[in-house]
């Protein structure tokens, strides 16, 4: 059996604050999770949930208060293991006095590539991220999206086994997002393991085999993207139109919301068929019937709401 | 070792592309040129005045670069988060630190050499020849360089565990204190307790002895510097820098980055 690509056990991170740093704020609490070899794993969560903290702990940028983590079977403190990891930081910032070619060449040197190999890899990566014509321009003249592309290029320059991407779609226009998605899928097809953080559900749904949802520094669930957020439909949405000849029930009008020429009516699953019957008898034309699933935003808001309620309860009871 | 050299090379490249350094070197050359003028109005001792002022200019500009760039070397990388992508490579934090140190020392070597060349041109202009005794100026420049390396190491160490402003103050304070180590060692005070006397003696050995690097007087008067002092200062700098960078690496290796 292959060892998980990433494994954490009770990984926690507290940040001291206040005068003399005597108080502590927990940023990540007892994170235990596994990312299997060859899978695309998404870390989902609202801003400040602990996604970047998790990734920084894995990359050795910060150190855990408690717990441990292994990457490719080795402890995260083992720097040599970084040969097999590619990392894109959140909102990457590189030496802006260098050109994209120079930055990639600089990073390539750490992997011990020969001059010819570096040159070849750098050009290949620039083409892959769509920067082949901007390779000689200093990074200080780059847009945020272009920097994100450079970040992606340096992360996969050395053909790593595991790629860790912190908010890879951040700052990209729709075309850029699509290109990044394609690169991730390409890496997935090449058998790479990918861990990436995002707060955009559609990205996770398109790309991930599994997702882990983090909120308030705690892992709230792990599973396939569809199963974790929208397991149960919260209701049904019926879209219908009322032709001029239809008996325009005032009751129906009151219940539905009008959008353009159509009406949207939300009902519980049990009330679907009676509602459809009622619409038919009123002469309405049914356009569509769809399940209403909670959005990731709803899911996050629910989690955040619960956290706040819990925090308030602790404050009141003092426990 | 190649990874250290990679970081050093990039640090040097950063300095080369930073126009502020050129301005400082230009300013130093201007000061050397003005030393020629001051020398000309100093009857019979024009060469002495010119060498003293020239070496002081090299030392001052070098110190400014060493302190400010040395402090910014690590803190800027942390603030701008450029370190995140770098440390994701197979690179130890101590290697990064050593590379930064080597890169800045290389930059200072090039700058100091350029300024020293300007000083020699000024000497040639005033005296119409360079004599064997002027070799002491080379030794003085070498000592300035050793001093700057030590200042860079101190600045980098302080920047690893405090804010840039405090790191500048600590480095500057330690430099000034280090200029008076010899005086501290030979201090004979009757009013202080023996314990305090012992503490001052201890302090005089712990503080970096920057007074040892000052041979400007000898250089200005064309007096030779004992070879023993050259060897002593070289070994002292290597050892002191190794200790200071060791402390810096120990702190930096456990530091949480933003």
Q: Which tokens hold the place of A183?
A: 């690169």
Return the number of other C-beta atoms located less than 10 Å from residue B233's C-beta. Answer: 21
Residues in Cβ contact with B99 at an 8 Å cutoff, skipping those fewer than 6 apart? B3, B4, B5, B6, B7, B8, B10, B11
Are B91 and A82 an interchain contact pair (Cβ–Cβ within 8 Å)? Answer: yes
Query: Looking at the domain assignment, is residue A309 inside a domain?
Result: no
Q: Are B132 and B215 in contact (CB under 8 A)?
A: no
Number of domains in chain A: 2
- A141 and A204 part of one domain: yes
What residue in A sits closest to B79 (Cα-Cα)?
A: A93
Segments forming the whole domain that contains residue A274: 235-292
- Chain A: give the shortest CA distance to residue B256, in Å: 4
All residues of chain A having their beta carbon less than 8 Å from the beta carbon of residue B81 are: 89, 91-93
Q: Are A103 and A121 in contact (CB under 8 A)?
A: no
User: How far, in Å, CA of B103 to CA of B57, rounded?
Assistant: 22
User: How far, in Å, CA of B181 to CA of B177, rounded?
Assistant: 7
User: How far, in Å, CA of A254 to CA of A278, rounded?
Assistant: 14
- A269 and A152 part of one domain: no
Q: Are A162 and A84 in contact (CB under 8 A)?
A: yes
CA distances from A138 to A97, A98, A130, B234 (A): 6, 5, 16, 39
State the complex-level ipTM.
0.82
- A96 and A66 part of one domain: yes
Closest alpha carbon to A58 in A74, A43, A76: A76
Q: Are B148 and B101 in contact (CB under 8 A)?
A: no
Give the side-chain half-sphere CA count within 13 A for A187.
Answer: 34
pLDDT digits (tens, 9 = 90+) for B2-61: 899 999 999 999 888 877 677 777 777 776 777 777 766 766 677 788 888 889 988 998
Query: A17 — contact with chain B (CB < 8 Å)?
Result: no
- A87 and A128 part of one domain: yes
Are A61 and B13 an interchain contact pair (Cβ–Cβ within 8 Å)? Answer: no
Closest alpha carbon to A34 in A11, A59, A62: A11
CATH of the domain at A59: 3.40.50.300
CATH of the domain at A261: 3.30.1490
- A255 and A215 part of one domain: no
Query: Looking at the domain assignment, is residue A143 inside a domain?
Result: yes
Element housing B66 (H / E): helix B46-80
CA distances from B47 to B33, B41, B151 (A): 13, 11, 29
Share of chain B above pLDDT 70, in %: 95
Residues 51-80 of A with CB under 8 A from B: 56, 59-63, 79-80
Are A109 and B2 an interchain contact pair (Cβ–Cβ within 8 Å)? Answer: yes
Return the number of other C-beta atoms located less than 10 Å from residue A95's C-beta. Answer: 22
What residue in B sits closest to A88 (Cα-Cα)?
A: B85
User: How far, in Å, CA of A155 to CA of A158, rounded?
Assistant: 8
- The reported pLDDT for the residue numbered A308 is 66
User: How far, in Å, CA of B34 to CA of B56, rounded?
Assistant: 12
Chain B interface mutation, best of A94, A99, A103, A167, highest count of B Cβ atoms under 10 Å: A94
Closest alpha carbon to B70 in B174, B156, B172, B166: B156
Residue tagged 């301005």 (tokens): B23
CA distances from A39 to A6, A25, A68, A195, B15 (A): 11, 32, 21, 8, 43
- A74 and A159 part of one domain: yes
- A158 and A281 part of one domain: no
- A263 and A215 part of one domain: no
Q: Are B74 and B160 in contact (CB under 8 A)?
A: yes
Chain A interface mutation, best of B11, B18, B89, highest count of A Cβ atoms under 10 Å: B89
- A169 and A204 part of one domain: yes
In degrees, to the nearest 5, what angle opens at C-alpha A137 toward C-alphas A135 and A143? Answer: 95
The sheet that has A262-267: what strands, in order across it? A257-259, A262-267, A235-241, A285-292
All residues of chain A having their beta carbon less than 8 Å from the beta carbon of residue B254 are: 63
User: How far, in Å, CA of B158 to CA of B150, rounded?
Assistant: 12
Find the Cα–Cα–Cα–Cα dihedral A35, A40, A41, A45, rounded to 10°.
170
Q: Are A95 and B6 in contact (CB under 8 A)?
A: no
- A128 and A245 part of one domain: no
Query: Looking at the domain assignment, is residue A278 inside a domain?
Result: yes
Sign, Cα dihedral of B199, B203, B205, B206: positive
Q: Which tokens hold the place of B68?
A: 């400010």
Share of chain B above pLDDT 90, in %: 45
One pLDDT digit (tens) per residue for chain A, 319 residues: 578 999 999 999 988 887 777 788 888 999 999 999 999 999 988 888 889 999 999 999 999 999 999 999 899 989 989 999 999 998 888 888 899 999 999 999 999 899 999 999 999 999 988 888 888 889 998 888 888 889 999 999 999 999 999 988 877 788 888 888 888 888 999 999 999 998 777 778 788 889 888 888 888 888 887 676 555 567 888 998 887 665 566 777 777 888 888 888 888 888 889 888 888 888 888 899 988 876 666 666 676 677 666 656 655 554 4
User: How far, in Å, CA of A208 to CA of A185, rounded?
Assistant: 9
Of the candidate ranges A173-177, B226-230, B252-256, the one whose mean pLDDT is the lowest: A173-177
Query: Looking at the domain assignment, is residue A317 inside a domain?
Result: no
Size of interface A-B (CB pairs under 8 A): 72
- Chain B: give the shortest CA distance to residue A76, in Å: 11
Last residue of a domain, one of A210, A229, A248: A229
Chain A interface mutation, best of B20, B76, B90, B250, highest count of A Cβ atoms under 10 Å: B90
- A213 and A247 part of one domain: no
Q: Model's pTM, two decimal places?
A: 0.83
All residues of chain B having their beta carbon less than 8 Å from the beta carbon of residue A155 are: 88
- A156 and A183 part of one domain: yes
Closest partner CB to A106 (pick from B6, B81, B92):
B6
User: How far, in Å, CA of A184 to CA of A176, rounded?
Assistant: 12
Are A106 and B17 an interchain contact pair (Cβ–Cβ within 8 Å)? Answer: no
Q: Which tokens hold the place of A227?
A: 């199963």
What residue in A sits closest to B91 (Cα-Cα)?
A: A79
């Amino acid at each position: 059996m292959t060892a998980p690509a990433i494994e954490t056990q009770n990984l926690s991170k507290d940040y001291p604050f206040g005068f003399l740093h005597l108080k502590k704020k927990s940023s990540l609490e007892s994170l235990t999770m596994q990312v299997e070899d060859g899978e695309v794993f998404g870390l989902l969560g609202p801003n400040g949930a602990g996604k970047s903290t998790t990734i920084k702990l894995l990359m050795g940028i910060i150190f855990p208060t408690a717990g441990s983590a292994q990457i490719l079977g080795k402890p995260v403190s083992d720097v040599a293991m970084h040969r097999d990891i590619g990392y894109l930081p959140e909102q990457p910032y590189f030496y802006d006095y260098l050109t994209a070619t120079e930055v990639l060449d600089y990073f390539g040197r750490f992997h011990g590539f020969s001059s010819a190999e570096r040159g070849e890899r750098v050009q290949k990566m620039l083409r892959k991220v769509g920067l082949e014509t901007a390779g000689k321009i200093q990074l200080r003249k780059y847009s945020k999206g272009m920097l994100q592309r450079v970040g992606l290029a340096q992360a996969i320059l050395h053909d790593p086994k595991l790629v860790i991407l912190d908010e890879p779609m951040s700052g990209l226009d729709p075309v850029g997002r699509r290109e990044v998605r394609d690169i991730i899928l390409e890496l997935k097809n090449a058998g790479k393991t990918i861990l990436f953080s995002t707060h955009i559900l559609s990205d996770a749904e398109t790309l991930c085999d599994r997702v882990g949802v983090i909120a308030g520094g705690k892992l709230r669930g792990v599973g396939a993207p569809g199963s974790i957020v929208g397991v149960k439909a919260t209701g049904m949405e019926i879209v219908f139109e009322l032709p001029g000849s239809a008996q325009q029930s005032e009751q129906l009008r009151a219940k539905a919301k009008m959008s353009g020429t159509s009406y949207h009516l939300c009902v519980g699953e049990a009330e679907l068929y009676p509602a459809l019957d009622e619409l038919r008898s009123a002469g309405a034309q049914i356009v569509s019937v769809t399940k209403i699933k909670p959005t990731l935003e709803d899911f996050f808001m629910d989690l955040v709401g619960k956290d706040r309620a819990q925090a308030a309860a602790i404050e009141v009871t003092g426990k | 070792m190649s990874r250290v050299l990679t970081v050093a090379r990039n640090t040097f490249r950063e300095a080369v592309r930073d126009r502020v350094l050129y301005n400082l070197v230009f300013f130093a050359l201007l000061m050397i040129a003005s030393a020629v003028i001051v020398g000309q109005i100093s009857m019979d001792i024009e060469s002495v005045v010119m060498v003293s002022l020239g070496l002081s200019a090299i030392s001052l500009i070098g110190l400014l670069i060493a302190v400010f760039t040395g402090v910014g070397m690590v803190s800027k990388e942390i603030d701008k988060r450029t370190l995140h992508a770098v440390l994701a490579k197979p690179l130890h934090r101590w290697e990064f630190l050593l590379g930064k140190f080597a890169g800045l020392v290389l930059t200072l070597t090039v700058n100091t050499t350029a300024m020293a060349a300007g000083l020699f041109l000024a000497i040639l202009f005033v005296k119409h020849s360079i004599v064997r005794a002027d070799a002491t100026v080379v030794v003085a420049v070498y000592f300035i360089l050793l001093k700057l390396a030590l200042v860079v190491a101190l600045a980098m160490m302080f920047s690893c565990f405090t804010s840039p402003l405090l790191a500048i103050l600590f480095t500057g304070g330690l430099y000034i204190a280090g200029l008076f180590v010899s005086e501290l060692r030979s201090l004979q005070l009757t009013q202080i307790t023996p314990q305090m006397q012992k503490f001052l003696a201890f302090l005089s050995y712990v503080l970096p002895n920057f007074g040892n690097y000052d041979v400007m007087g000898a250089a200005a008067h064309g007096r030779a510097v004992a070879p023993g002092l050259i060897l002593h200062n070289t070994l002292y700098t290597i050892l002191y820098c190794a200790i200071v960078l060791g402390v810096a690496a120990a702190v930096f290796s456990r530091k949480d980055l933003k």
